[in-house]
Every structure is written in C-alpha cells, then in structure tokens.
Structure 1
Amino acid sequence: MRMQLQSRVVEDDDTGWARTDADVETESGSLAESAPSSPLKRRNPIADLERHVQQLGVSQEGDEDEGYEIEQLHKSESTTYSNRPSSHNPSLSSSFNTVEDYEKEAATMVPRGQIPLTKFRYRIFMDTSEDDIADEMTRIDWVMFSSIRLRDFVRHVSLPLELKEKCKSLTNVNRMINHFNHIAHWVANMILIRDKAKHRAVMLEKFMTIALKLRQLNNYNGLAAVLAGIGGSAIHRLTQTRTLVPADVQKRFARLVLLMGSQKSHFAYRLAWENSPLPRIPFIPLHRRDLVSAEEGSRTFVGQNGERINWKKFEVLSEVILPIMKSQVMPYPNLSRHEGAREMILDCLMPVDDEVSFGFELIWWLNLTNEWNRRFINGHWR
C-alpha cells in the first residue's frame, strides 16, 4: 500500500474548479479594470478558429443529394480498426494503465525540429507505408487525447486567462491543440519538399490516402489535421499538382472533405461520430466549440439571488462530455510504435516562412469548404 501511495497518488489540481457566476463576474471585472487602455493582443490559437467556424456555410443546393451521399459515405467507409491485422508489438492497452502514464508519454511527443527536409527524407517517407504512418499518427493522437482529463476540457473554455496559466493540467489540452497545428504545418511542408509538380503530386496522393486510413481508424482529429494541411493556401493553389493526382483518389478525398465539412452544423461529422464504434478519437476543435456554446449560453445559478442551480446547463454540458468520456475508455488494441514514422512526424525541421506556415493555429480547411465543393465535379477539379 505504501508503494502504491508513493507511486500513484498525485496532488489534485483544483484550480478554479469550485466557482460561481459571481466569482466569474468579479474576476472579469477586476481584469477589465486592471487592463491598460491599449493592451498588446496576445496570440490565441483558438480565437481565429471560433471566428472562422461561425462564418462557415455551404450552398444549400443539392442538400438532398449531399445527405444521401453522406449516409452512403458513412456506410462505405466505416471500416473499424478491429478488422486490421494484429501487431506482435505491445499494444497501447498493455503499455498504459493510468492518466499519469499517458501524461508522461505525451510529454515526450513534443516536436523537436532536428531533421532537415531533404530529397533523402522524401524518399524515406515515400517508402514508408500509409498504414504505418496512419497508425503512428493515431497512436500519438490517442496518447495525447487520453492524457486529458474531462474537467480540463471544461476548464479550457470556462477559466479566465489568468487562471488558465496557473492550471498545470491544461498543458495537456494545449499540447493536443499545438500538435494539431504541427501536423497541418508538417503535411504542407512534406508536399513542398520537391519543386516539380510530378513529385508533389505523388506526395499529395500519399497524404490523401493517409487521410482515408485515418478515417478508417476513426481518428477524426488526425483526419482534420491532414485536411488542414492539404487545404491551406500554399497547397490549395497548386493547380498543376492536383491535376496529376488520379481522379479516383481525388473523389475519395472529396468525400472526406464533405464528411468533415461545416454544412448543416457539421451534420455529416456528427452523424459519423455518433455511429462510430470504439475506439475513436473526436474532432477536438468542434467539441470544444460546443462546450463554449454551452458555457456561455446560460448561467450556472439562476433565481433572484442566484439560489438555484441551472441543471439544464449541466445537461447540455453532459451531452458534449459523455461521448468524449466514453471514447477514452477503450484504447486501440493493435497500435504499435513505428520509430521511422514517429521520427518523420515529430522531428522534421520545418522552415518558418509565411508562404509555407501561413499561420495555421487551427485556422484550417473549413474556410475553403465552399471553394472545394464548387470546383470538384464528377471526380475532377475545374
């Protein structure tokens, strides 16, 4: 018992957990009073996401056809991970037993930027199978997702900035957000390693195939990150490169864009998410937006003197949190660590250039959904 207490018992971080609406208003007022008249704006990786998601919209023409296609897409691409061949290496379920174990492993998954992107790395990446890359991406996403406690999701949208900086456990949420941005940036840089369109087209096709593998693994967060990289301005404008990608690959990829699109309040994704079997990884930015809506849409305490609890608000929060909680219960059974793929994903040295990085920070392909749907007709790009 003593050994278990020494190794497993950790200090509970209850920063800002027990708070009332009055506390929030008092803190907000004090922060507003103490703020200078012309404060320097802090870079927030979430703010631009919220603005772009609110502005999203897709033409309503052909909604019935889209609904049918969404339903067929879910049926045809619902291949579960249990059908994949088993690995002889230790699985995730046997490697990690507690949230602390996941936290320790997730802390080692910070990009280091040591390996320059060269033609040699291009050939190594092309020789690596799509399954290995998708498996390693999903393994990293799962470890980061499992390192996040449910209350930290709520804290990330409810705590003021001052308390967020004091809450150590929010590091896990921020790490997953930063990793999303890293993957989007990495995908774009990998496609741009070579100068010729024929070489870029092969890499673009490979990432489109990886996106399909991630969908089959029910890794929606990784899928969205890859789509973000392909949908950024630096890649989206490569018209000649896209024309060299086979039409059938482009058609499958367009279905993935439709699946993760914003039309009808992300109806396609929500339908797929509700019907996806475990294991699965949620599309974190969208669920975070749902939490923001629930948190800001109603007060915690109601009544003249705030003597009653608004249980309806907690019911709405639970509708967002419970599916996430259910998803953290069952790990992927057959995911093994692929050192080569991990090295390519986390250790690549990427240039910091506006033309390449284009400030992702969770501003990604969603604002291009309209353009993609308009240009893609019958499996070809106009």
Structure 2
Amino acid sequence: MQNSDQHVSFRKRVVAFLQHWVALAGHSFFEDPVGAAFIEEIYCAILEDSRDQPQLLAELSAVEQLMQERERALGSSTRAPVILLDSGTVRDLPINSPALPFDLCIIKVHCVEAHRTSTLKVRSDIKCDSLRRLAAQKLGLGNGEGVELVELKSNGEKVTFSSDDVGVPSSMSHNGRLFACFKDQIDSLVILPEQSGPSESVHSVILETLSSAELAQHLLIYHWQLFHNTHEYELLYQTIGRNRFPGRLPVNLDLFVRRFNELQFWVITEILLCTALSKRAHLVKKFIKIALHAKNSHDLFSFFAITLGLSNVAISRLSQTWEKVSTKFRKQFFEFESLLDPSRNHRAYRLLVAKISPPVIPFIPLLLKDLLFIHEGNKTSFEGMVNFEKMHMMAQTLRNLRAYKAHAPAIDASKVSPEAQHLVHNFRVIDDQRKFIQMSKALEPRMKDS
C-alpha cells in the first residue's frame, strides 16, 4: 500500500513539474523534438497507470491538455512560412503566432564589381557562411572563397559578419546595405544614394489626420503584438550568444528592438524634414502628447523611443522651435527626460515601472542591458560549481518581463482603423546622426555654426 501511494505521489509530482515547465517555456518547449516526445511518453505512462490508479485521473486530464497544447504548437510550426522582412521593411507578421526561424527574409546583396545586385529569399535563421556562399554564387564570385559579407551603414560604418553569425537580415540597421566583396575591397565600399533616407516626409498624412490619442493607440496595438511574440528565452539567446543555440533565433526580439530604433529615428526625421518653424513646433508638441498617451497606456516602449528622439541633440538644439512650444509642454517634456536619467542604475525608470500594473510594454533596451551586465559581470561557474546566484538574477529579470504581459491591454476595436494600423508598421527614416546634425544646423544655424 505504501509503495502504491509513493508510486502515485511520484507521478503527481512529475506531472506538476511538467506543467510548470511548459508554462514557463511555452512554444519553445515544443520546438525541441525531445520535449515534444517527452510529453507523449508521459501521457502514455499516465494513461496506463490511471487504469489501476484512479487517483491519477486529474493528472491524466492535465497531461491531455498538454498534449493539446503540443498539437497546437506543432501546427503553428508546420504553417506556411511568411516573409518577415522585404529589403529591411516589415512585410508580414504571422497571425496568432510568433515569427519562427523558418520564416523568410528578402535581402539584396550588392557587389562592388560592375555594381551588381542580387535579391535573395532566405530563411531568417540562415547562417552567414551559407548566405555568403549563396550570394557569391548569384553574383559570380565563385564558390565564396575569400568573400566577406559586410554591412555598410548609412553613416559609412562597416560591419564584417563572421561565418558563424546567424540572422543577418533581421540584425542589420535600417538603412544598412549588405555587400559581398573581397577583403581588399572593403575600404572602397561607397554609400548608396538610397541609404540617405527620405528627403521629404512620407508620413505627414498620418500626423495630420490622426489625433495624438489615435496614433498612440495604433502604436500600442502594434508594439503589443511585437512584445507578446517575444519569448523571454530570446533575450537569453541574444545575451549569451545568438550562435550558441542551434535551431533557435531571437527573430522576434530583433523585430522588437529594430522597431524601437525606427520609432526614435522617425521622430527626429519628421521634425527635421519640416522646414516651417511654426509647423515644426506643432510637430514637437504633438510628439510630446503622443508620448504622454503612451505613458498613460503603459506603453513605455513608445514613450521612451519618442522621448529619446526628442532628446537627440539635433532636436534639442533647435532653440527657435522650442521657444514656440508652450511652457506647459516644455515642462511636460522635461519631466519625461528625467525618467531617462541613468543615475543610480536608472532609479527613476525603475520607480516608474514599480508603480504601474500590467500590462506594460517595457523599455526593452534597458532589459537587455541588465541581462548583459549580469551575464558579463558574473561567472557562470566557479571551481566546478554552478553560480546559481547569477541564474537567480537573470531569472528575476525574465520573470519581470513575463509579468508585464500577464494580460493584454484593453483595446477598443471600433476605434482601430486597419488602414492606419498598416501605415504605422513601417516608417521611412534617416538613421545617420551626422546627417541629423547637418539638417538641424541648416534649419536653425547659429553664429558659431556659420
């Protein structure tokens, strides 16, 4: 009798542990073939044992639910791939599913010889070495021997990818372009005209037709989708090393971080492309109002991206523009800026987050910074023993991330315009700080700038 009770107790604990594990790992648990097979093995064992042990019927029901989750996860894993990025522009995001490593990206690879370009459709998790050989073949550069893949950014910076890098298309900068060239050609790479970004606003209709509240709402909807799709594990992949997790790729995190930069650049771009002083001041005021709505909706992602954009030196030096902004809005913005204060480990931001309840779309760059600080500042093991203190610190950051998405934000579907929602998915931006400064000085030159 005692053995029978122990037998039941052991199985109850195994099922409880398994439920907790799946709840933490989510879709990632079933992406691993071993995990998917393990669920089935446990199900068969509990099914057989429950015939003689009716005390296990509740556990059988629990494992059946896990099997249903497994089937749903495997179903999404066998869906048709979508094109996530088309030459750097977000094209399709899966509906009711995160982006997965087999989803596709369309990327142009340029060649300095004869100014050739090849457009490739590749998996988002393609290894740099495979992409390099494919590009070399398409561009007539032989088998790829000696060929380097280099991102040329709009500011002239060059980034050479290593052969074991993964997810190149989703990790590039907004106006960066990919070149396949030999090592001795890297220094001769020249920025393409298209990398300069827009010369006039292509989004003025959004800013003119939508109110600040409406724009903030549309940003909230899109950013919640990106955040909800980003699993906590992806932050670990990024922190510990993208190439150290075969078959895994933080592609949703890539899209999320990319969007943060895009929104920040968009604020700067729109203001600097506005040549009329009064209109420019109105635009600054509107972005402050959007940031306020975002903060009140707990969309700290949008709030800080907009605030950082307005804090950029190319905008902050526009004294004539800021003089046209009312004292009320300038004071409001100074309060926003104070939340960016990095002193005392970003205490102002952390106090803000502690005061608000989920759902929250967080300031993702700071979360990544926290994890990187923990990872690089603490040894994973010491004298053959695992540093569990480090694990607990990283786990706490990830628990916070999970808590932020405990439930979805309340969204009034009747106020959501599909057309406007589509428009806010991609912003054409300038992403070169030197160009921002040049544009700023051209708008409002000072004596010492002349």
TM range (shorter): 0.5 to 0.7
Shift of 1:214: 0.9
Give the match for residue 239 of structure 2: 157
Give the match for residue 401 of structure 2: 324
Q: Distance in 2 between matches of 1:125 and 1:238?
A: 20
Shift of 1:350: 3.6
Which protein has greater RCO, CA pairs closer than 8 Å, 6+ apart? 1
Q: Distance in 2 between matches of 1:5 and 1:182?
A: 31
Distance 1:173 1:195, change over 3 A: same
Aligned residues: 263
**Structure 1: which 5+ residue stretches go unaligned?**
14-38, 45-105, 359-382
Q: Distance in 2 between matches of 1:117 and 1:329?
A: 42
Question: 2:424 aligns to what SS in structure 1?
Answer: helix
User: Is residue 310 from structure 1 mapped to residue 392 from structure 2 by the alignment?
Assistant: no
Distance 1:310 1:123, change over 3 A: closer
2:340–2:349 contact (8 Å) kept in structure 1: yes
2:222–2:425 contact (8 Å) kept in structure 1: no
Q: Distance in 2 between matches of 1:260 and 1:276?
A: 17
2:277–2:321 contact (8 Å) kept in structure 1: yes
User: Is residue 211 from structure 1 mapped to residue 291 from structure 2 by the alignment?
Assistant: yes
Question: 2:407 aligns to what SS in structure 1?
Answer: coil
1:346 pairs, out of 419, 425, 438, with 425
1:202–1:245 contact (8 Å) kept in structure 2: yes
Q: Deviations over 1:309-331 (max 9, x none)?
A: 22111111122111111112211
Q: Distance in 2 between matches of 1:354 and 1:346?
A: 23
2:375–2:390 contact (8 Å) kept in structure 1: yes
Give the match for residue 255 of structure 1: 335
Q: Distance in 1 between matches of 2:240 and 2:151?
A: 18
Q: Distance in 1 between matches of 2:219 and 2:320?
A: 28
**What is the 5 A alignment of 1:230-249?**
230-249=310-329
1:211–1:227 contact (8 Å) kept in structure 2: yes
Distance 1:120 1:329, change over 3 A: closer
RMSD: 3.5
1:133 pairs, out of 201, 210, 215, with 215
Give the match for residue 97 of structure 1: none
- Letter aligned with residue 247 of structure 1: T
Q: Distance in 2 between matches of 1:211 and 1:134?
A: 8
1:278–1:330 contact (8 Å) kept in structure 2: yes
Identity %: 21
**Structure 2: which 5+ residue stretches go unaligned?**
1-67, 80-99, 102-147, 154-169, 176-193, 438-450
1:156–1:170 contact (8 Å) kept in structure 2: yes
Question: 1:279 aligns to what SS in structure 2?
Answer: coil
Shift of 1:290: 0.9
Q: Distance in 1 between matches of 2:425 and 2:72?
A: 33
Shift of 1:218: 1.2
Question: 1:132 aligns to what SS in structure 2?
Answer: helix
Report the TM-score when normalising by structure 1: 0.60
Q: Distance in 1 between matches of 2:371 and 2:202?
A: 44
**What is the 5 A alignment of 1:215-234?**
215-234=295-314
User: Is residue 297 from structure 1 mapped to residue 377 from structure 2 by the alignment?
Assistant: yes
Question: 1:346 aligns to what SS in structure 2?
Answer: coil
1:125–1:344 contact (8 Å) kept in structure 2: no
Q: Distance in 2 between matches of 1:224 and 1:168?
A: 29
1:117–1:348 contact (8 Å) kept in structure 2: no
1:198 pairs, out of 278, 289, 295, with 278
Shift of 1:118: 5.5
Distance 1:124 1:143, change over 3 A: closer
1:189–1:356 contact (8 Å) kept in structure 2: no
2:265–2:430 contact (8 Å) kept in structure 1: no
Give the match for residue 281 of structure 1: 361
